[in-house]
Amino acid sequence: MENKPIEVLSTVSFPDQLLEMIHAVSPRLRVSTQLVRRADEIPAEVWARTEVLYTEMVLPRPGQAPQLRWVQFHYAGVDFLMGSPLLEKPDLIFTTLSGAAAPQVAEYVVTMLLNLGHHLPDLFTYQSRAEWPRGRWDKFCPLELRGSTVGIVGYGSIGREVARLLQPFGVRLLAAKRDVMHPADRGYMAEGLGDPEGNLFHRLYPIQALRSMFKECDFVVVALPMTPETQGVIGEEELKALKPSAYVVDVGRGGIISQPALRAALQEQRIAGAALDVFTEEPLPASSPLWKLPNVVITPHISGFSGQYKERAVDMFVRNLELYIAGSPLLNQFDPQRNY
């Protein structure tokens, strides 16, 4: 039944011009919006007819939406999906927004690499005291990006866009990913961004070889998804492999780096510093020692924020709607075996 209507339910609000882009994909689409926080706030008759769900985290019970065939998430990270009974529902496809947030997260990463390497936190401290420091050369001689080695842990959409942005700086790029036999990436990415073919790094490492990679790094960027395999994958031994002059930027998920091990490395100045946007407990408690460490930049999980986020989200959703209607494989399909 090629002309059968496709009932699309969104729990995310989009402005009219973006809704028009969704409607324009096909006259078969019937798009409705329910701005709710819980699945039981959506009427039973709406769930009963929903075939496609666009949502942040609102998910029905398996029997609540018998026609549901595809869930498109508004986020790239969907570790909250692990253990969901919906994963047992046959023929139900989940897709993530991986790639849509890559441009702004990658800009955040480059900002923090420059921030740390050029000692901006210390400079701001002196400015707040209206103090012209002595020994400026020793205090503020930078670790320049040009000629440095940057290691990217997790070579997905974010890592690839970081690699692209770093090209003019003349850095040596190392990358680590789960499957080194397939360096290309076929997930969503806006045209002209990222490194879809895997051509920009100088060397590719398996995740198991992080210590070998870290020994060579001046900067490490962590952009892994959270899975049972990646939780705590960067621990005390991996951090010990870093140079005392090395910096870490974490935009993955809290818990990929062992927080106790990282805190100890920073407190004991076994590494030079870190910029952290993700934490095992969020909001980060006021009692956390990380707040008071002078060699740490803390941001409240905002690296993916952008005024263009919804536009990028709809661009990706539209592409997937076109594929769905054509009966083709969707972009960014969640793989229960990999947990991302």
Type of residue at 37: R
Alpha-carbon gap, residue 100 to 102, rounded angstroms: 6
3-state secondary structure of 241: coil
- 165 CB burial (10 A radius; 0-12, 13-18, 19+): middle
The rounded Cα 96 to chain-centroid distance in angstroms is 11
1-29 per-residue burial string, b: 16 or more CB within 10 A, e: under 16: eeeeebbbbbbbebeeebeebbeebeeeb
Please work out, in degrees rounded to the nearest 5, the angle formed at the alpha carbon of residue 8 by the alpha carbons of 6 and 10.
175
Q: Is residue 202 annotated as part of the catalytic site, yes or no? A: no
Out of 23, 74, 118, 301, the active site residue is 301
* Closest residue by Cα to residue 123 from 313, 340, 294: 294
Helix axes 309-326, 16-23, angle to 10 degrees: 10
Alpha-carbon gap, residue 138 to 157, rounded angstroms: 37
> Within 96-135, where are the H helices?
102-117, 120-128
Sheet holding 52-55, edge to edge: 29-33, 6-10, 52-55, 70-73, 93-95
Q: What does each C-alpha distance from 228 to 73, 224, 225, 252 come to in angstroms? A: 20, 12, 10, 14
Residues with catalytic annotation? Answer: 301
